[in-house]
Structure 1
């Protein structure tokens, strides 16, 4: 399959490969804050991919606050950002503190899922699918899932193509997934019933986004996060995440 620029159109996972390699080069100091990245045509040649892949990789780095395109000048590396401490006082020992974050996420991510349903690119959809598959694989193996859970929600936030959504989730940070905060010795184990719920609820969100159905995506996300509020209330009472 040929892209509009005549370059063979690769699978969407190449966007992640290009994004991660550019991020690695930036972190290694090959490109320093203020430096301009090579031109789009040069990156296309260097990576052997289409312009579409390069553009989406740059868009992903922009959403992460790593680079900033400037009209007519190119794409420039930004200084590392410092996360504001707005959510550092979340207390996992207080039910109200956990519920406050989940209520905020419900309002934020409901609209985010709706936007992602209509705005996502093929590459962003692939990233959401990969995150979902990793999340479910870890859950079935009874391995910690908090990081994969965060990655799934962050991928959806990025698919809004509004950088403020992923910025907000990253600002919330560790409090995004309360189960990794509830046990100082490690993530709280989950039951087989919870594993099934995890798959069902996240799967419903993914399916709605794939169908480009914004209202279904909104409802699936809101339902998931409201159910989470109920589950965490139960966990904080009993110490077991059983439903």
Structure 2
């Protein structure tokens, strides 16, 4: 899913775009320090994205030091941006790459199935012509 209003030229993953928009809202004071961000479901609904994409956006904000995530409680805006822990950004990139590889594999598998069906249909058509 894509969030509405995203420029066509912005080819970054939706999680990065939403994280940037949430960070801008934090900077503008919409989400004050020590207060929670909206729930993942609310972020997903507000931005027209999947819940897992909303979770990835919040993880990006955490990696940037803008929020801290409390288990079973949500994400809370940090008083002051903190420096990301060593390797935090790299882990986020590795997670994104793994997700993209899985999506590519799924698309490839689907394409192979479509090609197989087209071949079957073509074989069926040519056998009827004889």
Structure 1 residue 22 and structure 2 residue 22: aligned? yes
Residue 2 (structure 2) pairs with residue 13 (structure 1):
no
Q: Which runs of 4+ in 1 moved over 4 A?
A: 8-12, 123-126
Matched with 1:51 is 51
Pair 39,124 (structure 1): closer, same or farther in 2 beyond 3 Å:
same
Q: Structure 2: how far apart are the matches of 1:68 and 1:82?
A: 10
Aligned alpha-carbon RMSD (Å): 3.3
Structure 2: how far apart are the matches of 1:73 and 1:56? 16
Q: Which ranges in structure 1 are unaligned for 5 or more consecutive residues?
A: 1-7, 84-107, 127-243
Give the alignment's TM-score, normalised by structure 1.
Answer: 0.32
Return the alpha-carbon distance in structure 1 between the equivalents of residues 49 and 72 of structure 2: 22
> 2:42 matched to which residue of 1?
42
Conserved in 2, the CA contact under 8 Å of 1:12 and 1:123? Answer: no
Q: Which runs of 5+ in 2 are unaligned?
A: 4-10, 101-130
**Number of corresponding residues:** 89
Question: Tell me, what secondary structure is at the counterpart of 2:75?
Answer: strand
Distance in 2 of aligned mates of 1:123 and 1:76? 26
